[in-house]
Amino acid sequence: MKDLKDVQLFDLYGALLTEGRREVCKLYYLCDLSLSEIAEEKGITKQAVSECVKKSRSQLLLYEKRLGFSKILQQLTAAHPELEGEIAELIASGGREE
């Protein structure tokens, strides 16, 4: 089941995943494709997609446990609600200046 927390973690730490895992997670979390749809698009089994998403989620949770950016951003947003839009834009851009 797709959870908003998982999507947020992917936004924060997705760049740290391998290219293959990042692409599968992007299709799953951001494009809202089903496991079967991703499997068909990637030419792999549904089970392989499921395992990839599961392992990626574990990795994202580990990054959060070690780095804690999500918690920091929640605290920052709570203390300064006027910055919520800017924080969201920063996360969406992956920290890259445009």
User: Dihedral (C-alpha) 94, 36, 57, 88: value to the nearest 10 degrees?
Assistant: 30
Locus of tokens 């395992």: 51
- Specify the pLDDT at position 79: 93
Q: Is the dihedral of CA 3, 16, 36, 47 positive or negative?
A: negative
Q: Which CATH architecture has domain 4-92?
A: Orthogonal Bundle (1.10)
pTM above 0.75, yes or no: yes
Query: Could you report the average pLDDT of every consecutive run of 10 residues in the chain (98 residues)?
Result: 86 96 97 97 98 98 96 90 86 65
Spans of all domains in the chain: 4-92
Q: How far is Cα 31 from Cα 34, in angstroms, rounded to an integer? A: 9
Listing DSSP states for 62-86 in one string gives HHHHHH-HHHHHHHHHHH-GGGHHH
CB 45, CB 39: distance < 8 Å = yes
